[in-house]
A and B are shown apart, each in its own frame.
Chain A
Amino acid sequence: MKRLLRYLKNYKIQCVLAPLFKMLEALFELFVPLVIAALIDRISDYSASGDAGFVVRCFILLIILGVVGLISSCTAQFFAARAATGFSKELRHDLFATLLDLDYPQIDGLGTSTMITRMTADVNTAQNGVNMFLRLFLRSPFIVAGAVVMAFTIDVRSALIFVAVVAVLFVTVGLIMRYNIPMLKRVQSKLDKVLDFTRENLSGARVIRAFNVESDRQAGFEAANEVLSQDQRRAGRISGLLNPLTYVIINLAIVMLIGVGNIQVAQGRLTTGQVVALYNYMSQILLELIKFANLVVTINRALASANRISEVFGLEEGPAANATGQPAARGDEASARTDSASEASEWAVEFDDVSLRYHEGSDEALSNISFKVKRGETIGVIGGTGSGKTSLINMIPGFYTATSGTVKVDGEDVKCVDAHELRSRIGIVPQKAVLFDGTIAENLRWGNASATDSELEEAVRMAVAMDVVEAKGGLDAHIEPGGKNLSGGQRQRLTIARALVKKPDILILDDSSSALDNVTDRRLRENIRRMDPGTTVFIVSQRSSSVRDADRIIVMDDGVMAGIGTHAELMESCAVYREIYESQFGREEG
């Protein structure tokens, strides 16, 4: 919560002015009973009968109080709205920046839909909380306190009743809220259960029906629904107390107040008007207290949202300290060393006894990987699902950093190189072929913002994607978010082109031809082989056919390197490779 308060920093003035004007409004409201008191006293006073002038003056005063109240209240609303929307704008900006700043291990643990909820629904709730807080949080207590103070100025003995009543009311409301808020939380979690159940019955309709378990599922749903309903009713029984109870307390207090007031009037210590004023103040307290109770609910919700939002910021500071952002000082040092190192090293990529663990305490995703790749070599990476292929190649641009051992690119430890500079030299085509809302050209220029159209076309041609561009109507054709208006294979080829536009020193294709037919796949591989001979290429695949022609093939099995070498060598020496090959081509054709 404290974290979020700093987003109000730029709105200090508004944060002060909004409650201030609200207090002003409240102050004018507090004068109203005094005017009425004077009016009543004047009427009750027989001698003054017929003093119509006084009545009109009182009327005008009431109207003036109303107008001034209106103006200050509107002013307050403006400042509150200004602060609240400004707060949420800056909050959203920082949230988004934080999310973009996360490194791969953190992204892995991230639920996109949860993050969207946090950035939209939760920020809105927080914004509403700020708005309401600025508007009401001072006003309600101020009116309550003001009414008590006013009561003291009228009559001390009556004022003591006020103090007692306010105390009783606070305890009552507090107790109800204390029981009710956790109940509402429970209701919410029960509702989530019912929601999960509903969703499962839809998404699993085929399986549920195939296994004939409809009646079990319904029984399960009805049980969850019953629990929800019970909790809702239980919570309702408590929250339903709030209004009647406060009403009774206040009215009994009024009865007492007037009873005591009567004696005072008889003794000549109070006027009728003053008794009426006390009565009015008591009624005001009731109204404000109910508002205050509602405000507490709003604030509570806002706080829950604020906590969820803070968790997002917490990600950044989280245990994944092997983040990719480099301290500036090290960046300088690194670039200074680059010159000498890149000349010296003939190796484009070196893995030296590298192990990777995603989370503290979990099993190693990669264990003791060592190999060296010469500049210009084409390396195939093959292995089953979950064998560690993707983890391996994602360590080259430093998306994951080694738990032990070192990964070097151009002779430089990737931990010590500026991440942005490193990535600008590496072109990666991720497994999931994603394009973004915009034109084809805009998407391709992600690789290099200053690429000319002819450079784009060249990359497209190399990625065997010319027909895609033509089919869509040229480089300026529009691509829908996520590339929805393209087929899987079309998307894959454009993502390859996007990486090629970069003219990278190292090109990584992570299973990026899975949706291509065999002919296109072969043409693509031929084009890549004809690329600038200085480009080091990594081709990750499950298909033996995709890596067979690579200079060398790395065989991954359950996080360890089962072998490295040419196709022929591996067929000879590596059982895992042979098995993979045979599972796809059959023994006899091997």
Chain B
Amino acid sequence: MALDTSGFVPKGNLNTDETALGRSGRRSTLIKVLGRLSGFRFPILMSLLMAVLSVVFTLLVPIYIGRVIDCISTGSGPEPIRDNLMRAAVSAVIVGVSTYIMNLINNRVTYLTVRDIRNEAIRTIDTLPLKYIDSHSQGDIVSRVIADADQFADGLLMGFTQAFTGIMTIIGTLVFMLRMNVAITLVVVCVTPLSLFIARFISSRTYRMFRDQSIERGAQTSVIDEMIGNAKVVKAFNKEQDVLARFDEINERLEKASLKAIFYSSLTNPCTRFVNAVCYALVALTGSYFAILALGGDSSRLTSGITVGTLTVFLSYANQYTKPFNEISSVISELQGAIACAARVFEIIEETPETPDTDGRTLEDISGRVDIDDVDFSYVPERELITDLSLHVEPGQRVAIVGPTGCGKTTIINLLMRFYDVDRGAICVDGEDIRGVTRSSLRSSYGMVLQDTWLAGGTIADNIRFGCPQATMDEVTEAAKATGAHSFIRRLPLRYDTVIGEGGTELSQGQKQLLCVTRVMLHIPPMLILDEATSSIDTRTEMRIQKSFRDMMTGRTSFIVAHRLSTVREADVILVMRDGAIIEQGDHDTLLARGGFYSELYNSQF
């Protein structure tokens, strides 16, 4: 399992490979995003309308103020001043209200979309073939559902709000400025994009520095991981100083790389601000010059309509116009990031689920006969694992599967439970091919205890009740007593209400395994699978729970995979597996007498 992400969810993958996604991939993702948003057509339309409203009135405010200033400078009467001030005030309020409405709508659209995407993702995850889950990093899938979906939300919200209003502002300002004076507008139009170029220039130069920084950071993280994860060994060998020295060496390099990256990238703001200052100064220069000319009686087209008021409007527009320009690169990268993140989430959602249960017959009241006929199976086509496996188990038989690691023991369990489908041949329960019955009825015919002691976050009681939520507290306690789990649960601070898992009480491996056994006890189906069910429990405790296992297995078909041969001796049939095939079959005494691989395995224990 990859790095634990409970405390720290990396904010998406900033280094999402742009090229890997590709232009066409980006477009198809965009179409999918739009498709998801189509349910919100009306709110989005409203939001756009509000954006237009807010931009237009934002641009009107300086114009009204400019008129007032004209009136002041020419000393005209109080009425036009009052009217224009009223207009400015009303416009400002309209801007405020429409912006807020827009924020509310975007907020709602974004979070509802992300909620639905997450729900869809989890639905897919619960129906993904185990093959997919086994072969993909869980950390990666989790980060797609959490971090990527989150960054998608952020990017969508920001993109929604800023890209649209930004473009509207640029267009609106241009139109308003052109109507006032073409020459000054040209000055603004020519100078402002400079800031965009500078920002681009700096970010392309700093890209390498940020990459260097993340390389050093990665190196440092792996040292931390290695050394803190094994702090006990470090201490046992008195190596603290050496390890620290190695850490410091990387730390030093990281500091240098960080300083470069941070400093050079932080030049963007001062530089664009400088460009803006130049633009502002140029507007002041040309505007004042024209105003002087206009006041001096010149009425050429160049200077038409230039007054003190229009000059202030231009100055304030010069500021407003540059803002979306300065933000545009961050908005674009945010949007690109959001699309890349969306693509990663969609990849999960669109993953092919398990083949659906076809005609969906349900297994009911089964006797527990299992037939495996000529089964071939492999995880990867190039490496065959199980070939020509045949096995016929009568109801109530106890089947033990033994053999060295990697011989395919657990694979048989995967096939029996239909976590994986066979490549060839068939597995039948009570004569029914398991591919013809519903997965849920097949799986609920088996009680399963796996080597992997997975427990859900929650209380002990919740976990024991996992497959049988309606069980009473008495039944829970009864089951725990039967497996001996009761004795350790009794000693926990809140007994059956003790919360385990993330942030809760840590249980030992053996205790977890006892709980897994108890979980099955509560509701025992006609067939049992015990895959190394007691591997983490010491032999003495194991002996004690053997009795309850024996009771459990009476009259039930059971499959027992075990490492320790002492636990399989009592089985009716022992299958000895090697390299995906059954090489010996029989009960303990026959196999031992035969003097084959089993007796070799058995005797090597001593």
Find out whether the CB atom of B543 lies under 8 angstroms from the CB atom of A583: yes
Find out whether the CB atom of A210 lies under 8 angstroms from the CB atom of B417: yes
Find out whether the CB atom of A384 lies under 8 angstroms from the CB atom of B541: yes
Find out whether the CB atom of A206 lies under 8 angstroms from the CB atom of B130: yes
Find out whether the CB atom of A251 lies under 8 angstroms from the CB atom of B61: yes
Find out whether the CB atom of A112 lies under 8 angstroms from the CB atom of B240: no
B106 → A minimal CB distance (Å):
8
B443 touches which of A210, A258, A276 (Cβ 8 Å) = A210
Find out whether the CB atom of A206 lies under 8 angstroms from the CB atom of B231: no
A-B contact count (CB 8 A): 430
Query: C-beta contact mask, B567-582 vs A, less than 8 Å → 1, else 0?
Result: 0010000000000000
B428 → A minimal CB distance (Å):
19
**Which residues of chain A (12-38) have a CB below 8 Å from chain B?**
25, 32, 35-36
B537 touches which of A280, A385, A423, A545 (Cβ 8 Å) = A385
**Which residues of chain A (89-147) have a CB below 8 Å from chain B?**
89, 92-93, 96-97, 99-104, 107, 110-122, 127, 131, 135
Which residue of chain A has the shortest Cβ distance to B266 in the bound complex? A77
Which residue of chain A has the shortest Cβ distance to B113 in the bound complex? A229
Find out whether the CB atom of B606 lies under 8 angstroms from the CB atom of A545: yes
Which of B32-40, B167-175, B329-337, B447-455 contacts its partner? Answer: B447-455
Query: C-beta contact mask, B498-542 vs A, less than 8 Å → 1, else 0?
Result: 000010000011110000000000000000000000001111111
Find out whether the CB atom of A221 lies under 8 angstroms from the CB atom of B119: yes
Cβ-based interface call for A73 (8 A): yes
Query: What residues on B are CB-neighbors of A586 within 8 Å?
Result: 566, 569
Known interface pairs A100-B244, A210-B443, A212-B440; A251-B92 also in contact (CB < 8 Å): yes
Report the bound CA distance from A133 to B206 in whole Å: 22
Query: C-beta contact mask, A226-267 vs B, less than 8 Å → 1, else 0?
Result: 101100110011001101110110011011001101100110
B90 → A minimal CB distance (Å):
10
Query: What residues on B are CB-neighbors of A200 within 8 Å?
Result: 456-457
Cβ-based interface call for A318 (8 A): no
Find out whether the CB atom of B96 lies under 8 angstroms from the CB atom of A245: yes
Cβ-based interface call for A194 (8 A): yes
Which residue of chain A has the shortest Cβ distance to B277 in the bound complex? A66
Known interface pairs A218-B123, A221-B119, A430-B232; A62-B448 also in contact (CB < 8 Å): no
A88 touches which of B96, B258, B270 (Cβ 8 Å) = B258
Which residue of chain A has the shortest Cβ distance to B7 in the bound complex? A117
Report the bound CA distance from A372 to B605 in whole Å: 31
Which residue of chain B has the shortest Cβ distance to A580 in the bound complex? B540
Report the bound CA distance from A272 to B81 in whole Å: 14
Known interface pairs A49-B292, A63-B281; A216-B138 also in contact (CB < 8 Å): no
**Which residues of chain B (262-280) have a CB below 8 Å from chain A?**
262-263, 266-267, 269-271, 273-274, 277-278, 280
Report the bound CA distance from A192 to B295 in whole Å: 66
Find out whether the CB atom of A43 lies under 8 angstroms from the CB atom of B291: yes
Cβ-based interface call for A519 (8 A): yes
Find out whether the CB atom of B243 lies under 8 angstroms from the CB atom of A233: no
Query: What residues on B are CB-neighbors of A81 within 8 Å?
Result: 259, 262-263, 266
A47 → B minimal CB distance (Å):
11
Query: What residues on B are CB-neighbors of A96 within 8 Å?
Result: 224, 227-228, 244, 247, 251
Cβ-based interface call for B248 (8 A): yes
A325 → B minimal CB distance (Å):
11
Query: What residues on B are CB-neighbors of A226 within 8 Å?
Result: 115
Find out whether the CB atom of B235 lies under 8 angstroms from the CB atom of A399: yes
**Which residues of chain B (205-252) have a CB below 8 Å from chain A?**
217, 220-222, 224-240, 243-244, 247-248, 251-252
Query: What residues on A are CB-neighbors of B69 within 8 Å?
Result: 258, 272, 275-276, 279
Query: What residues on B are CB-neighbors of A211 within 8 Å?
Result: 443-444, 466-467
Find out whether the CB atom of B224 lies under 8 angstroms from the CB atom of A202: no
Report the bound CA distance from A280 to B82 in whole Å: 20
Query: What residues on B are CB-neighbors of A42 within 8 Å?
Result: 288
Cβ-based interface call for A333 (8 A): no
Cβ-based interface call for A338 (8 A): no
Find out whether the CB atom of B3 lies under 8 angstroms from the CB atom of A262: no
Find out whether the CB atom of A85 lies under 8 angstroms from the CB atom of B259: yes
Query: What residues on A are CB-neighbors of B235 within 8 Å?
Result: 100, 103-104, 399, 423
A93 → B minimal CB distance (Å):
6
Which residue of chain B has the shortest Cβ distance to A115 in the bound complex? B228
Cβ-based interface call for B549 (8 A): no
Report the bound CA distance from A580 to B539 in whole Å: 7
A386 → B minimal CB distance (Å):
6
Cβ-based interface call for A56 (8 A): yes
Find out whether the CB atom of A583 lies under 8 angstroms from the CB atom of B539: yes
Known interface pairs A209-B443, A261-B72; A113-B296 also in contact (CB < 8 Å): no
**Which residues of chain B (4-39) have a CB below 8 Å from chain A?**
4-10
B96 → A minimal CB distance (Å):
4
Find out whether the CB atom of B450 lies under 8 angstroms from the CB atom of A251: no
Report the bound CA distance from A116 to B258 in whole Å: 18
Which residue of chain A has the shortest Cβ distance to B297 in the bound complex? A49
Which residue of chain B has the shortest Cβ distance to A112 in the bound complex? B229
Cβ-based interface call for A201 (8 A): yes
Known interface pairs A229-B115, A385-B509; A217-B126 also in contact (CB < 8 Å): yes
Query: What residues on B are CB-neighbors of A310 within 8 Å?
Result: none
Cβ-based interface call for A542 (8 A): yes
Find out whether the CB atom of A202 lies under 8 angstroms from the CB atom of B4: no
Find out whether the CB atom of A248 lies under 8 angstroms from the CB atom of B236: no
Report the bound CA distance from A248 to B315 in whole Å: 20
B508 → A minimal CB distance (Å):
6
Find out whether the CB atom of A265 lies under 8 angstroms from the CB atom of B133: no
Report the bound CA distance from A93 to B247 in whole Å: 8
Report the bound CA distance from A25 to B273 in whole Å: 11
A89 touches which of B255, B284, B605 (Cβ 8 Å) = B255
Cβ-based interface call for B421 (8 A): no
Cβ-based interface call for A180 (8 A): no
Cβ-based interface call for A160 (8 A): no
Report the bound CA distance from A96 to B234 in whole Å: 13
Report the bound CA distance from A224 to B443 in whole Å: 27
Query: What residues on B are CB-neighbors of A436 within 8 Å?
Result: 226-227, 230
B369 → A minimal CB distance (Å):
20
Query: What residues on A are CB-neighbors of B127 within 8 Å?
Result: 214
Query: What residues on B are CB-neighbors of A67 within 8 Å?
Result: 274
A79 → B minimal CB distance (Å):
10
Known interface pairs A214-B126, A221-B122; A55-B259 also in contact (CB < 8 Å): no
Cβ-based interface call for B65 (8 A): yes
A96 → B minimal CB distance (Å):
5
Query: What residues on A are CB-neighbors of B61 within 8 Å?
Result: 251
Known interface pairs A39-B284, A518-B605; A262-B81 also in contact (CB < 8 Å): yes
Find out whether the CB atom of B6 lies under 8 angstroms from the CB atom of A279: no
B114 → A minimal CB distance (Å):
7
Find out whether the CB atom of A583 lies under 8 angstroms from the CB atom of B542: yes
Report the bound CA distance from A498 to B239 in whole Å: 13
Which residue of chain A has the shortest Cβ distance to B231 in the bound complex? A107
Which residue of chain A has the shortest Cβ distance to B511 in the bound complex? A386
Subset of 11 A-B contacts with CB under 8 Å: A42-B288, A85-B255, A93-B248, A96-B228, A206-B454, A211-B444, A222-B119, A254-B88, A428-B236, A518-B605, A583-B543
When A and B form their complex, which 9 residue pairs have the shortest distance between CB atoms, in order from nearest? A113-B4, A240-B103, A66-B277, A384-B538, A251-B92, A211-B467, A236-B107, A62-B281, A248-B96
- 17 other A-B residue contacts (CB within 8 Å) besides A196-B457, A200-B457: A97-B244, A120-B220, A195-B6, A233-B112, A236-B108, A241-B100, A244-B95, A244-B100, A252-B89, A261-B72, A363-B491, A447-B237, A542-B538, A576-B540, A579-B543, A583-B542, A583-B566
Q: Which residues of B contact A (CB under 8 A)?
A: 1, 3-10, 61, 65, 68-69, 71-73, 75, 78, 81-82, 85, 88-89, 92-93, 95-97, 99-100, 103-104, 107-108, 111-112, 114-115, 118-119, 121-123, 125-128, 130, 133, 138, 141-142, 145-146, 150, 153, 217, 220-222, 224-240, 243-244, 247-248, 251-252, 254-255, 258-259, 262-263, 266-267, 269-271, 273-274, 277-278, 280-282, 284-285, 288-289, 291-292, 295-296, 308, 311-312, 315-316, 319, 417, 419, 439-440, 443-444, 446, 448, 450, 452, 454, 456-457, 466-467, 469, 491, 502, 508-511, 536-543, 566, 569, 604-606
